[in-house]
Amino acid sequence: MSYIWEKYSSENCYKVAKKICPYMEVFNNQGKDIEVNPLLRFFTLFELITSKDILEYIYEDYKTKSENEENKARLENVVFHFLAQLDKNKGLFYRQTLIEKIRNEISDGLYGEFVQKSWSTLSSKEQETILYGLSQRRLLDNENFFMDTINKIFSASSLFYEKSTNLYYLYIYEENTEDNIKKYELIKYLFWNKNYTLQAVWKYYYGIIGVSDTMKIDQIQII
């Protein structure tokens, strides 16, 4: 997700977006004209400052519809500039700042060449999922976010431990395509405890005696 404080410049022109997504704050932050969704964090504020009474109080020449729109746009821009600077100066979103720090570290190769090369093959959503897991692990003192990340990247998965062999088996109900294998290997590299051995099993369950759902003909794997 992009926020108003990202890529901030005093030359930017901020305005309330006409079409919004409930999960995004900034829609177009590539140029100088930035469309913002104020509903995520600033709904109460913008409901107040864009009211007719407030505009009439601020602008004595508030008369026509065109003047109304101009004044609203001018006020929106000023307020968004203030809020963006407030975010940057006070570190209001520490987690997002940490996520951007980790993103830069990956880009700079601080996580290794394997992660750096694999990163560009991920979608934006997949990158954000992994960045969230890495940031949470730092914030929560290295708690394991392996399965949390796996479950968000893949549609269905389960982790089993075989005591007799001291092995962990990760079931992923998807095809073992080259793309999926790369995602799995990246998540394993970043989150899995390397003191334990992990083996991925794709698409079909392993057959477990006594568990009928895992013993269907043509729908099991033999390990």
Average pLDDT value over all residues in the chain: 81
Question: CB–CB of 171/205 below 8 Å?
Answer: yes
* pLDDT tier for residue 131 given thresholds of 50, 70 and 90: very high
Structure tokens at 209: 């005696």
207 CB-near residues (< 8 Å, 6+ apart): 214, 215, 220, 221, 222
Question: For the chain, which residues make up each domain, given as ranges?
Answer: 13-92, 96-221
Structure tokens at 27: 């829609």
pLDDT score, position 206: 61
Q: Which pTM value belongs to this model?
A: 0.55
